[in-house]
Structure 1
Amino acid sequence: MGVTKILGALALTATLGVMASSGAEAQQTQSRLYDVTKSKKVRVCQFPLYYSISFRNPKTGEIEGIDADLAKEFAKELDAKLEIVESSFGSFIADLQAGKCEIGMFGVGATMKRGQAVEFSKPYLLTNLYAVTRKDSKVKKWEDIDQKGIKAAVSLGSYMEPFMKGYVKNAEVVSVAPPNTREAELVAGRVDVIITDFPTAIKVTDEFDWATYILPNEKLAITPYAYVVPQGDQIWLNYVNLFVDTIKLDGRLLKYAKKHKLDPIVAP
């Protein structure tokens, strides 16, 4: 290759490099972080039927739980007004992609399948499966669940749903969609057991004297809970991760976890 061609190739490479760099910088200057700090409003998707995480108190109408408290802390850090957007495990991905909220904060399990459509922050809780049933139920231990005639309820769109459908061989898995709840199905006797996580198991057994929870012999479907954001906004994800790191270090995560009896499952 002649000198002229070499110089031309180098010039083209340099030009492409500058263009790529400029494109990356342009992309990085567009972020939800800038939109939120400019508008002074942050929209947070929450599922208002999630005990200990984001549950609407029927007496006050207020959403209570660890993520109700931490969403307020998040808005405070941004110096923004908090706006709660009701969502669910079956719709939060579509809600984020449609721009209905900037972030989901309601104990979303960070799974590989969900990671194909959204991005997750660093984890703040870590849990596995529990079963909740009535004290007078024929289900006395975990092994009693996978029997013919047993109906096990899961929330539609939760990570428990695909796990249980692949796990059980004899029992029937019943997917419950909002506004119905697993707990109401159990109370009505339409299911024998509900499959849930630590937050709901603790809350239900604390509030209802008829309820008891059952642990499997081994931890099943160990799942990190994280905050969830749309794909393609690294600046926003970095800020959310910084928030998670900060509340771990300054004690706010543990403070609100203890308030809602979730301190045993705080992520390291």
Structure 2
Amino acid sequence: MLNKNHLFFIIFTAFILAGCNPAEEGSNETASKENQIEHDKTTQLDRILRDGVIRVGTTGDYKPFTYLNPETDEFEGYDIDAAKKLAEGLGVEVEFVETTWPDLMDDLLADKFDIGMGGITRTLERQKTAFLSNPYLDFGKGALIRLEDKDKYNTMEDINKPDVRIGVNPGGTNEQFVVTHLKDANVTVVEKNLEIPPKVAEGEFDVMITDNIEAIIYAKEDRRLFSAFEKDTLTHSQMGYLMSQGEESFHDWVNLWIDEMNLNGEFEKLRKKWID
């Protein structure tokens, strides 16, 4: 029969041979838990400052806020310049991550970027699953039409007819507006937003529902087009920046940055450069 000393020696030897020192195992497990706790304490703002880069999600298809220039393969626009200023304020580099309007929220929740920028409307629906910053620009829904039709489409009723062909991009507030308010019109969803204005100019569509600022830009670029409901917009909204919920320190920093941009006239400079 084995005595207690022999039994302890056999068990201890088995642990050594298996590489499972009980004391070390307990120590490693404790260290792992401590590391996890420290990781959980790290805020998004901490990670951005630590990594030296902020990832900005943007669609690249919404002038004048975000546009992926095919000639340079670079993003440009109002919110692209703003993103660079945001990174400068943080003291980090900016990395642009291309997304789409239908995938915008999913990509944010999948941690593909830290903040969404590029003409994003502040809505109660988006606020349910994400966090929207303080507003930085007021705007409303308008319509891009042909110049020859400027006296034809003056009210919502004028464009909400079966013979009016409307082009709209998917996944954002433009499509939501069309689905809700223009149920009688002949609506076509076009995957690429940038393809709609020339289709209006060439007569394939009669109306493009979009934000009044985008309509202004396209009307400036193509004299065949006209920005309808430019001042008396169909809706009244504000733009903000999209972030994940539960990151208060990052939210507070971005909101203070927006306040500073307004106080120093930086957003006004961007408006003059890209819109006026």
Identify the TM-score tier after normalising by the shorter chain: 0.7 to 0.9
Question: What secondary structure, in the 3-state scheme, does the structure 2 residue paired with 1:174 have?
Answer: strand
Query: What residue in structure 2 maps to residue 60 of structure 1?
Result: 72
Counterpart among 107, 122, 127 of residue 95 in structure 1: 107
- 4+ long deviations beyond 4 Å: 25-28
Counterpart among 216, 223, 245 of residue 202 in structure 1: 216
Counterpart among 134, 155, 158 of residue 169 in structure 2: 155
1:102 is matched by which residue type in structure 2? Answer: D
* Greater mean deviation of Cα atoms: 188-197 or 38-47: 188-197
Q: Which runs of 5+ in 2 are unaligned?
A: 1-36
Q: Does 1:72 align with 2:122?
A: no
Q: Deviations over 1:244-263 (max 9, x none)?
A: 1110111111111111125x
Aligned residues: 238
The 3 A distance-change label for structure 1 pair 261 and 216 is closer
Q: Does 1:229 align with 2:231?
A: no
Distance 2:86 2:163 in 1: 46
Q: Does 1:129 align with 2:141?
A: yes
Distance 1:123 1:147 in 2: 34
Counterpart among 135, 138, 145 of residue 159 in structure 2: 145
1:35 is matched by which residue type in structure 2? Answer: R
Query: What residue in structure 1 maps to residue 17 of structure 2?
Result: none
Per the TM alignment, residue 179 of structure 1 is displaced from its structure 2 partner at its CA by 6.8
Question: What secondary structure, in the 3-state scheme, does the structure 1 residue paired with 2:134 have?
Answer: coil
Query: What residue in structure 1 maps to residue 10 of structure 2?
Result: none
Distance 1:66 1:180 in 2: 17
Distance 1:120 1:56 in 2: 23
Distance 2:193 2:242 in 1: 22
Question: What secondary structure, in the 3-state scheme, does the structure 1 residue paired with 2:250 have?
Answer: helix
Q: Does 1:238 align with 2:267?
A: no
- TM-score by length of structure 2 reads 0.79
- Matches of residues 248-267 of structure 1 in structure 2 within 5 Å? 248-261=262-275
* Greater mean deviation of Cα atoms: 52-61 or 152-161: 52-61
1:225 is matched by which residue type in structure 2? Answer: M
* Greater mean deviation of Cα atoms: 151-160 or 140-149: 140-149
Query: What residue in structure 1 maps to residue 60 of structure 2?
Result: 48
Are the counterparts in 2 of residues 127 and 197 from structure 1 also a CA contact under 8 Å?
yes
Are the counterparts in 2 of residues 122 and 244 from structure 1 also a CA contact under 8 Å?
yes
Structure whose CA Rg is larger: 2
Q: What's the C-alpha RMSD, in Å, of the aligned pairs? A: 2.3
Per the TM alignment, residue 131 of structure 1 is displaced from its structure 2 partner at its CA by 0.7
Q: Deviations over 1:214-243 (max 9, x none)?
A: 118953221110000011111111111111
Q: Deviations over 1:152-200 (max 9, x none)?
A: 1222112121222121242123222237632243245332110111221
1:75 is matched by which residue type in structure 2? Answer: A
- TM-score by length of structure 1 reads 0.82
Per the TM alignment, residue 26 of structure 1 is displaced from its structure 2 partner at its CA by 7.8
Distance 2:92 2:231 in 1: 45
Are the counterparts in 2 of residues 53 and 199 from structure 1 also a CA contact under 8 Å?
no
Percentage of identical aligned residues = 29
Query: What residue in structure 1 maps to residue 226 of structure 2?
Result: 212
The 3 A distance-change label for structure 1 pair 40 and 26 is closer
1:59 is matched by which residue type in structure 2? Answer: E
Q: Does 1:34 align with 2:46?
A: yes
Are the counterparts in 1 of residues 141 and 235 from structure 2 also a CA contact under 8 Å?
yes
The 3 A distance-change label for structure 1 pair 211 and 92 is same
The 3 A distance-change label for structure 1 pair 124 and 217 is closer
The 3 A distance-change label for structure 1 pair 120 and 138 is closer
